Each structure stands twice: as structure tokens, then as C-alpha cells.
Amino acid sequence: MNRGAGAWVAPLLAGAILVLACDNEEECRALRALKRRYDRALAVTRARAAHADRVAGQARAAEARARRLLDQHRLEAPAKMVTEALEARIQQISGATVTYARRATATAPGPRAQGAAPAAAEDVWQVDVPGGWRDVFAASLAVRTSVPLLRVSVVRPTDGGGRIELGRLPVPRVPIRLSPRPLPPLPSTTEIPSRWGWCGAKDLRTAIEAAGSELEALRLKAEAVTVDLPTHASWDGLHRRVTHAIALEKEAARLMKALATAAVKAGVDIKALGQENDAVVLELRGGPEARGRIERALPAPLLKAVRFVPAASGELRLIAANRVARPGRRSSPRAVDSGPPAPGARKESLDAAGGQIANGSRRPVSE
């Protein structure tokens, strides 16, 4: 009797063990797949956390460097402080006055339900100087030489003198509003049912839980890197754009001085001298005879670089490209941030019928 019972109990017991082992193997397969997800997440998190302190330090250094440059040239000085600085600069010029205004630049269309969006505005300072063209242009050099550093948009003769229009250096600012990028959520081991068996499920659960604990310990540092990296890039980009704007204005001053000197030497009738896009433009009254005189007065290198464009009837525009702004130079934010301009973009901007671009606004140079 016992022998017969043993004959069928042993196979039954083996079958039960096999069934349980199969169920346990399914649990282990699910745990191994989950562990691979935890391992990948942990590798990324460790890499981010390992560089967190260095990246945070670089972001702080980039911000300090950009703010130092802005402060050095007082590019964000309050309008009242700039006005007082200009008044101090023209004290030696008898009869010169400074006027400050906020000028609308554009009105962007908003949603129909809300109407038009608020118009953007820019700070504009006008310095009126008595005397001849030499006196007016000398004053334009004087008002741009020290901090706060300003952009001379246009210089034009007026009755009994001339007017110098200045604005802030056009440095595009991108608001930095960043949120940490959270680590991807991972399922818990409790979502996988536990079964009896010998496939190593207990060790897998222990390893996954240990990885989860390490992920939580590194979470703050890893997520901080997702903010500090773009923050560093933003401040570094601002520093490059400010450096470019300063170099652009210095080169514009050199070109304006050369064109003004040649115009005075040639004795031509000056309508306006100013900046348009990435070029300096001299507008003259007169036809072919005026062109011949100014060509003879221009230095040979500048004459090769200048383009002559007919404007209104009896008027002439001399356009000298600002070399600092040419595509492909490292100092150009257009080359660094957004690539070269579309084909024909520069020609269209320079040859359009008017167009003083100052801090985003478009106005005729001689307006």
C-alpha cells in the first residue's frame, strides 16, 4: 500500500514544484525588465549629479561675467541717470540741450478677444547742438565716448545746428524662466506580484529598491543640472551679444567719422548720417556731381567698401557695411545664435526705402 502511494505522490509533487517554478520565473522576468529601467535611469542620474556642482558654478560665473560687463558700460542704467550723464558731457558745448523720450517701436496684433498687444517702446535721447556740421559731429563723438555707452542712431543738420539721436545699445534679452526637468517616474516593485520560487526574485527586489533609494538621494542634484546648463548657456550668450554690440558700436563710430570727414572735405550737402541695420549710411543731397566729389574725398579702402544707392530725386545714399556684423564672424550673435541670414536678407534691409533700425524700430535715417 505504501509503495503504491509513493508511486503517484512523487510525480504529483514534482509537477507542483514545476508549476510554482514557472510562475516564479514570470515574476523574475518582470523584475529583470524593471531592474534594467532602474539601471538606465540611475546611470543618467549619476552622470548628472556628478557634474552638478561644476555646472552650477559655471552658471554662476557666467551670470557674474555678463552682469559685470553690463554694469561696466552701464547698459541698463536708469533713463534719468543716462540723461544726467549726457547733460554732464555737453556742459562744455554752449547752447547744447538734451531731451529724453520714450518712443513706441511697434504694436503687435493680439488675439481678437484681447485686441492689440501693448506697444513696445525704447529710450531715445536727442541732443541739439548749435553751430556747423563740424561742431555737431564733434559733439556726437563726445557724447558716445564714455559710460553709459549709447548707440548714436542718427546725426542730421537742423536750422542753426544739428541733432544727435541716441539710444541704448540693442542687446536682445531672453527671459530665463526655467523649471527642473524631473526624473522619469518608475514603477515600484510592489506592482509585480510576489510568488514562491527559486529564481532569485528576492535579490532582484533588493537591488531595485537600493537603486530607487540612490535615485531619490541624487534627485535634487540631477534635476538642478537641467536648469543650470541652459542658464549657463543663456548668460554666456548674453555676454557674447553685449560684447558684439560694443564692438559693433565702436566700428560704427569709426565708419561714421570717416564718412563725415570725407563729406566735410568734399563740401557736399549732408542730409543725415546714421546707422541702418548692420551698416552706416550717409545721405547726401546732389546728383552725379556730388558723387564725384565724395568719391575723390573718400580714402581708397573705404571707397572700395562703400556702396552708392540712389535715393529720392536728387539724393544719394552711401552705405558702408559694418564689418563686425558680417555673417561668419565669431563675435556676431547672428552667426553664433541663429546661423547666417537668408539669401538676400541684407540687400533687402539696406536697399529698402528708408530704415533706421534702433533697438528694434525701423525709421528713415533722415526722418
CATH of the domain at 91: 3.30.70.990
In a domain, 253, yes or no: no
pTM of the model as a whole = 0.71
Distance CA 127, CA 308 (A): 29
Give tens-digit pLDDT for 29-80: 899 999 999 999 999 999 999 999 999 999 999 999 999 999 999 999 999 9
Do both 146 and 10 map to the same domain?
Answer: no
Do both 11 and 82 map to the same domain?
Answer: no
Model pLDDT, residue 364: 45
In a domain, 326, yes or no: yes
Do both 183 and 53 map to the same domain?
Answer: yes
Do both 185 and 218 map to the same domain?
Answer: yes
Do both 13 and 36 map to the same domain?
Answer: yes
Tally the domains of the chain. 3
In a domain, 244, yes or no: no
Roughly what angle, to the nearest 10 degrees, separates helices 201-266 and 52-72?
20
Do both 92 and 40 map to the same domain?
Answer: no
In a domain, 153, yes or no: yes
Does 317 have pLDDT greater than 60? yes
Do both 191 and 52 map to the same domain?
Answer: yes
From 131, 148, 168, the end of a domain falls on 168
200 phi-psi bin (left φ>0, alpha ψ -120 to 50, beta other) = left
In a domain, 251, yes or no: no
Of 189 and 330, the structure prediction assigns the larger pLDDT to: 189
Distance CA 181, CA 167 (A): 39
Model pLDDT, residue 359: 32
Do both 85 and 136 map to the same domain?
Answer: yes
Give tens-digit pLDDT for 255-280: 999 999 999 999 999 999 999 888 99
Distance CA 301, CA 272 (A): 22
Domain that holds residue 361: 267-367
